[in-house]
Amino acid sequence: MTYNVFITRDIPDEGIKLLKRDKRFALEIYKKDTPIPRKELLKRVKRKNIILSILTEKIDKEVMESAGPGLKMIANYAVGFDNIDLKEAKKRGIIVTNASHPCVAESVAEHTIALMFALAHRIVESDAFTRAGKYKAWGPKLLLGTDLFGKTIGIVGTGRIGSGVVRRLHDGFDMKVIYSDLKRNPLLESQTGATYRSLNQLLQEADIVSLHVPLLPSTKGLIGAKELKLMKKTAFLINTARGPVVQEKPLTRALMKGQIAGAGLDVYQCEPLIDCDPTDNLDLRKLKNVILTPHTASATQETRQAMSRVTAENILAFIDGKTPPNCVA
């Protein structure tokens, strides 16, 4: 049997090569490096057995119906899978996998820490200042930042990524670790001396608050006006998890008023829009105490190739009658 596979965006080549070597697959790839238009997606998935999707494509009931009864698998090229209607997939007997790999956690942890240091040492501001020809002489008060050594890091969510951030900062920079999660993490506590806190306690104590929770009904809007008011005026907020975890209007107001010192964001509430409401004069892009990256926390050659390979391995396992290693539904 030939399995017809539609890939909604061209991905790094390791996984593609694995699938092309197997004569059981007929691959069709949307080659433009932009999100596929919805009408085009609905057209291209028709009579496909497998959809290899990425995070920007919403794979819902309409897409599954358009594919038809032959659709047996959705292999998501992402760790998250909130773009897929899991209930609908389960109802139709469609297997769903993600691209979880240790490399992803390592890359996102590194990016998270990069945002922290860039904020604390005002790297982006300093770069712009220097490029603009404003650097005329060394000065004792020029672009003063803050040290992270010995400060308190507050981690919200201690899965692979959150734990990776904690280990690096504790071991390398002697930071005190506090964390909040659904349940206590004895391993993290024993390795780093981490102390469990409620979310409110953590917000009040931490010098840096770093978010590492999945997007769930319980985490949507987790950080809003009330939570931001609990934070220190000298504290930084980092979000490399999912944009809707943070309410951006209250965040922007807090940054403008100096309620908190700064924010490092890789994800956004209305992504890919940075400003959900252009009429409200609350634009994160205008603030100097914010660093913005375009959802690139896992964007390294090593990680994206690993994700490609894992996605292909999930598909191959399924076709061979095995349970895919990264099955989520």
The residue ranges of every structural domain in the chain are 3-98+302-319, 103-292
- pLDDT bracket for residue 44 (50, 70, 90): very high
How far apart are alpha carbons 209 and 42 in whole angstroms? 41
Determine whether 295 is an active site residue: yes
Structure tokens belonging to residue 181: 């999660």
Largest CA distance in the chain: 72
> Can 28 be counted among the known catalytic residues?
no
- Hey, what CATH topology would domain 3-98+302-319 get? Rossmann fold (3.40.50)
CATH of 103-292, one of 3.40.50.11540, 3.20.20.70, 3.40.50.720, 3.90.550.10: 3.40.50.720
Looking at the chain, the whole-number percentage of residues with pLDDT higher than 70 is 100
* Per-residue confidence (pLDDT) for residue 10, from 0 to 100: 94
Equal CATH topology for 3-98+302-319 and 103-292: yes
Cα separation, 196 vs 190, whole angstroms: 12
Is 121 marked active-site?
Answer: no
- pTM here is 0.90
Exposed/middle/buried for 248, CB within 10 Å: 0-12, 13-18, 19+? buried
> Catalytic residue among 242, 248, 309, 313, which?
242
What is the arithmetic mean of pLDDT over 84-97?
96
CA nearest to 127, candidates 145, 112, 140: 145
Q: CB within 8 A of 70, min separation 6: which ones?
A: 4, 47, 48, 49
Average pLDDT of the residues in 65-70? 97
What is the C-alpha to C-alpha distance for residues 308 and 21, in angstroms, rounded to an integer? Answer: 15
Task: Please give the pLDDT value at position 1.
Answer: 85
The predicted-structure confidence for 236-252, as pLDDT tens digits, reads as follows 999 999 999 999 999 99
pLDDT of residue 200: 98
Question: Choosing from 65, 88, 110, 271, which is the catalytic residue?
Answer: 271
Q: What is the pLDDT of residues 113-150, one digit of tens each?
A: 999 999 999 999 999 999 999 999 999 999 999 999 99
* Three-class SS state of 176: strand
Q: With bands split at pLDDT 50, 70 and 90, how would you rate the model's confidence at 80?
A: confident
So what's the pLDDT on residue 281? 87
Let me know: does 197 contact 205? Beta carbons within 8 Å: yes
* Catalytically annotated residue among 121, 160, 167, 295: 295
